[in-house]
Amino acid sequence: METRLAIPAGASGGTAFKVLGAISFAHFLNDTMQSLMLAIYPLFKSQFHLNFAQIGLITLAFQLTASLLQPVVGYYTDRRPQPFSLALGMGCTFLGLLLLGYAATFPALLAAAALVGMGSSIFHPESSRVARMASGGRHGLAQSIFQVGGNAGTAAGPLLAAWIVLPHGERSVAAFSVVALVAMAVLTGVGLWYRHQHRQPGKPAQTQALPLPRRHVAATLAVLLALIFSKFFYLASISSYLIFYLMHRYGIDTEQAQYHLFYFLFAVAAGTLLGGPIGDRIGRKQVIWVSILGVAPFTLALPYVGLGSSVVLTMIIGFLLASAFPAIVVYAQELIPGKIGTISGLFFGLAFGLAGIGAATLGLLADLWGIAAVYKLCSFLPLIGMLAVFLPDLRERRHARVVGAAG
């Protein structure tokens, strides 16, 4: 099995779909375990008699290691590639899950959460690098295949918590360490392929940076970070509070609201899968424009429509917003070639951090103003997408450089 993965058919220059499938599957397992931990907070709260502040500290311990360490890990591996760091990171998740299953004190829970976050901080930058290496030039497609695994895992975690952990108690969390072992085996095979790429003679030279002034690059990164802010704050309003909003606004029960959340998550997965290849075809900037600013009419209408229309709108919103992230990550990687790990760590870490901050902030505002008012306020966030007008078209600049060199 490892031999087949180590030298896939696409390694010679085409897209290495076996490697992309493996890294997407590992992403699914990784994010399943992360969302599982967050979904069993009610179990920890009752078993350890925690207050909401202590629950917040668990989230903080997880987010600090999962968000802040990612750019650091990416920066280090840009300088010193570590083919087997992916399996090592999953080992941190393995230890974290074991500790979660047998923790007897609150500090032990904090340590376990930090270990799970640390595993994530190692996994995301390096796996994004592997996706780009395996892309065969189809960078958006590769990034989408990689990311859709994470979307599926995020959706699966709460279901596993409801079916397995909540009925069987804390010890059942440790059983999921087997999932981490499976992921470690898969990532060891990916590491063998990764190492083989670095040992290949006559590798193509690294893409040279586009002729953009440093100040222009910094301004472009600032625009991308603002777009990430608008995207993940708005997504936090739906993923964290859609059920409560629907129950309050339309008077439906929890089960019916769960179906609405599933429709939204399905649309997010579809948008993630298609956003990258569409960007390969029509350009990253165009996808970013349509996916973030183009979603504004739908978000502005959402608080004022009926239940049936809200299903359609949330699916359109989920699809469009999710299609932006693969395009943004690949755009940033092309903006600063040679810093794949640093850029991936920065944007994935920021996504984690903003999702957590957004959920906490919007929860506080919902307590003060009501959930309906929060949805009306958040509906304006996609208007930040107008900043995309300041993004340079990297594809046109690259084409002009090629034409100039040929002339």
Tell me the per-residue pLDDT of 221-262, one tens digit each, with 9 for 90 and over: 889 988 888 888 888 778 777 888 888 899 988 778 878 888
- The answer to whether domain 10-199 has CATH 1.20.1250.20 is yes
User: Can you tell me the distance from the alpha carbon of 66 to that of 60, in angstroms, rounded to the nearest whole number?
Assistant: 10
pLDDT digits (tens, 9 = 90+) for 171-211: 788 888 888 899 999 999 999 998 888 665 544 444 444 55
Q: What is the mean pLDDT of residues 291-315?
A: 91
User: Can you tell me the distance from the alpha carbon of 18 to that of 21, in angstroms, rounded to the nearest whole number?
Assistant: 5
Asked if pLDDT for residue 387 goes beyond 60, the answer is yes
39 by Cβ neighbours in 10 Å (0-12 / 13-18 / 19+) ranks as middle
User: What is the residue extent of each domain of the chain?
Assistant: 10-199, 214-392
As a CATH number, domain 214-392 is 1.20.1250.20
Q: Which residue has the tokens 């009752």?
A: 46
Beta strands in 112-167 (DSSP E): none
**Are the folds of 10-199 and 214-392 the same?**
yes
Q: If we measure between CA atoms, which residue out of 225, 167, 148 comes closest to residue 388?
A: 225
- Model pTM score: 0.72
Q: What is the pLDDT of residue 199?
A: 60
Q: What is the pLDDT of residue 281?
A: 85
User: Can you tell me the distance from the alpha carbon of 53 to that of 309, in angstroms, rounded to the nearest whole number?
Assistant: 37
